[in-house]
Amino acid sequence: MSMIIISSLEELWAARATLKGPVGLVPTMGYLHAGHISLARRAKAECQSVIATIFVNPTQFGPNEDLSRYPRSLERDLQLLEAAGVDLVWTPTAQELYPPDFQTWVNVEQITQPLEGAMRPGHFRGVTTIVSKLFNATRPEKAYFGQKDAQQVAVISQMTRDMNHPIEIIVCPTMREDDGLAMSSRNSYLSAEERQAATVLYCALLTATRAFEGGETNAEKLRQVVREVISSEPRAQLQYVSCADYATLAELQTVDHKALLSLAVFIGKTRLIDNFVLG
Ligand code: PAF
């Protein structure tokens, strides 16, 4: 069966009714890379039918962020999704999802406060609102997200529990380039020199993780390792480094249980994030 591609909500509802369950959902903003495709393949392996969505969600971008220049490549995305075995692609429009009288938001209160939430006010409200709309429209049994956006995964998992969505959230490993750079659609903004410099995020996380594995459990010392490695790269500007409890994202003093070591770094004007799990 060839892949169904639809845009309107009404067509989606009709097509969804024909899909055999369990249904896996892979929500994306397009400009797909191997990370997205790994989500689609995993969904295909675990579900009878796979729905992918492509929607650059305006409500999760701040006023000074990159919404207008976010990269797009619909034709290529569709080919990649078809090759990965996706059954249905939904490419909704902003007009239909956010009509002029739209006024209902989904807001997760605590776990959205630190890290990305602190740097990008309103970002997670946009994410949880759109993901909740995608869940309602596609009614999947499982939904697939990448570990690279670790806080997003935590926030969406919290929302799924709190709103009683009967959906299992599946977290897939971060896909990396050969030199360790985490795959991201935003890597396409980097110049050749910046792309080279961007490996410093991975180096910093790796160096701190080695220190942890070597017995360093003082969270501030691990954060300091990250700061030092990032400051060795002149094109990199650290926005934050965090060594936090994996479940609550509260900053730790001692890493004596599962922790998330994460950071956000500007390489030139491009903001990149990455993380490793400790313990
Ligand atoms: O991770 C993303 O690409 C987006 O935040 C998501 C989950 C598709 C919601 O717009």
pLDDT digits (tens, 9 = 90+) for 224-266: 999 999 999 999 999 999 999 999 999 999 999 999 999 999 9
60-65 contacts at long range (C-beta below 8 A, 24 or more positions apart): 60/122, 60/123, 60/124, 60/125, 60/126, 60/127, 60/130, 61/123, 61/126, 62/120, 62/121, 62/122, 62/123, 65/120
Whether residue 131 has its Cβ less than 6 Å from ligand 1: yes
Give the pLDDT of residue 1. 67
User: How far apart are the CA of 143 and the centre of ligand 1, in A?
Assistant: 12
Q: Which fold has domain 4-172?
A: Rossmann fold (3.40.50)
Distance 171 CA to ligand 1 centre (A): 13
Q: How far is CA 276 from CA 189, 200, 245, 246, 260, in A?
A: 23, 14, 12, 10, 6
What is the number of the ligand 1 atom nearest to the C-alpha of 146? Answer: 1
Q: How far is CA 157 from CA 9, 140, 145, 192, 221, in A?
A: 25, 14, 10, 36, 30
Check if 127 has its Cβ closer than 6 Å to any atom of ligand 1: yes
Where, residue-wise, is CATH 3.40.50.620 in the chain?
4-172
> 0.85 cut: is pTM over it?
yes
From the CA of 149, how far away is ligand 1's center (Å)?
9
Secondary structure of residue 88 in the 3-state scheme: strand
Is 36 annotated as catalytic? yes
Q: Which residues of the chain have pLDDT under 70?
A: 1
Q: Could you tell me which residues come within 8 angstroms of residue 67 by beta carbon, excluding any fewer than 6 positions away? A: 56, 58, 61
Q: Are 243 and 252 contacting, i.e. CB atoms less than 8 angstroms apart?
A: yes
Alpha helices in 145-217 (DSSP H): 150-162, 192-197, 199-213
How far apart are the C-alpha atoms of 84 and 82, rounded to whole Å? 5
- Neighbouring C-alpha atoms within 13 Å toward the C-beta of 127: 24
Q: Are 27 and 53 within 8 A, CB to CB?
A: yes
Token couple for 89: 């692609």
From 33, 36, 165, 257, the catalytic residue: 36
For 65-83, the pLDDT digits (tens) are: 999 999 999 999 999 999 9
Q: What long-range pairs does 205-213 form, CB within 8 A, spacing at least 24?
A: 205/261, 205/263, 205/274, 205/275, 205/276, 206/180, 206/276, 208/261, 208/276, 209/261, 209/276, 209/278, 212/255, 212/261, 212/278, 212/279
Q: How far apart are CA 208 and CA 143, in angstroms?
A: 31
Instruction: Take atom 5 of ligand 1 and give the residue whose Cα is closest.
Output: 127
Tell me which of 37, 72, 98, 130 to substitute to probe ligand 1's pocket, judged by most ligand atoms within 8 Å of the beta carbon.
130
Q: How far apart are CA 250 and CA 262, in angstroms?
A: 12
Two tokens at 71?
């990269």
Answer yes or no: is the C-beta of 130 below 6 A from any ligand 1 atom.
yes
Out of 97, 127, 172, give the residue to mutate to test ligand 1, the one with the largest number of ligand atoms within 8 Å of its CB. Answer: 127
Which residue is closest in CA terms to ligand 1's atom 7? 27
Closest-lying ligand 1 atom to the alpha carbon of residue 28: 8
Intervals of CATH 3.30.1300.10 along the chain: 185-278
Fold of the domain built from segment(s) 185-278: Pantoate--beta-alanine Ligase; Chain: A,domain 2 (3.30.1300)
Number of the ligand 1 atom closest to the C-alpha atom of 156: 7
Nearest atom in ligand 1 to 60's CA: 10
Distance (Å) from CA 195 to ligand 1 centroid: 23
Phi-psi region of 188 (alpha: psi -120 to 50; beta: other; left: phi over 0): alpha
